[in-house]
A = this chain, B = another copy of it.
Amino acid sequence: MSKLIRVELGDRSYNIHVAPGLLAQCGQFCRDLKLGHRCLMISDANVAPLYGHIVRESLLEAGFMPHVFVVPAGETSKSQATLSLAYDEALLHGMDRKSFVVALGGGVVGDLAGYAAATFLRGIPFVQIPTTLMAMVDSSVGGKTGINLPQGKNLIGAFHQPSAVIADLSAFTTLPDREYISGLAEVVKYGVIQDADFFASLEKNADRILAREPETLAQVVARCCECKAEVVRLDERESGLRAILNFGHTLAHAIEQAAGYGKFLHGEAVAIGMAYAAALSVSVAGLSNEAAERIIRLLEKFGLPAAVSGLNWSAVRRAMKTDKKNAGGTVRFVLAREIGRAEPGIEVSEELLEEVWNVIGQ
């Protein structure tokens, strides 16, 4: 049930380990990486009580000196203030350029801890230990780190690849349903943008996935990581291809902002955004009606929303950051040509944006 995925990025290459029970082995993994003695382990108030002691003890047993910094759970911890506290903790702990950071938690912890590692002493190593499905299949892989500003999410950040990603599938046993299902939105995304066979296997194994069956999950998480690793290998800093990972995300970010952060989980907004992008794809990218329906059906099977109500189009449109063309009122989107193949930069007219919203957004 154990899987190993290699992210090939020259001297920044690293392994993703996927298996149940890895938390208790993380000290050994860190030792194999020949990291320095001291480390700052950043976790949040939900995850630290569940798994903090396992990771800390594993690090201690492997000969490391971990110092634990627990931040409040939730997006507000991706702030300049919390970042500044993380620096203070690192200095209090006497960390130097050979020390490292461990991120134990979901996307918020991974982004914050990764950014702290990217910038402390001009960059020290860090290890991602994602504990949510969303973090395992998306945010922990690929090196995007960062924090929010009051003006918007992820406005400050750095590309800083982890030294390893340790995905312990046992963490799913404590993951709330809504969080788990939210992560499935990104899983569906990889099928749509990169791998038709994987999409079909999700359809086939949907019940097993919903039951969180460990063997199936090992396959699913590993395949998502492979998909992401391949895109990141080809375009580490998002100068082109990597944009396909934003399939569904243009509307998702706008919905999250227009509805007020916290109302939707990220994956829920992404699911709505994918339903929207699928409909746009039918109109202008040659996606078949049948394929679009399969996408919607799979989202609904997983219990994800494929439509939204109570939001006003003009508010959503204002919040939508679209890659505007010079003239003529067309904007550019990541769209699917067919299941398994997406393309960034496809032109969509303002009229179509609103017309499709009127189907999805009621």
A158: B residues at CB distance < 8 A: 118-119, 122-123, 158
Chain B neighbourhood of A309, CB < 8 A: none
Within 8 Å CB of A84, what residues of B?
80
Decide if A149 is an interface residue (CB 8 Å cutoff): yes
Which residues of the partner chain B approach A146 to less than 8 Å between Cβ atoms?
122
A-B contact pairs, 18 of them (CB 8 A): A80-B80, A87-B149, A87-B155, A88-B149, A88-B151, A91-B149, A91-B155, A118-B158, A119-B157, A119-B158, A121-B155, A121-B156, A122-B144, A122-B154, A122-B158, A122-B159, A123-B158, A123-B237
Residue of B nearest to A160 (CB): B158
- A84-B80, A119-B119, A122-B144 given; A91·B159 CB < 8 A: no
User: Min CB distance, A262 to chain B, in Å?
Assistant: 22
Interface size range of chain A in the complex: 20 to 34
Copies of this polypeptide in the complex: 2
Cβ–Cβ < 8 Å partners of A155 in chain B:
87, 91, 120-121
- A residues lining the B interface (CB < 8 Å): 80, 84, 87-88, 91, 118-123, 144, 146, 149, 151-152, 154-159, 237
Q: Point out the residues of chain B lying under 8 angstroms from A151, CB to CB.
A: 88, 91
Closest to A149 in B: B87
Question: Which among A80, A144, A154 has the highest number of chain B CB atoms within 10 Å?
Answer: A80
A158: min CB distance to chain B, Å: 6
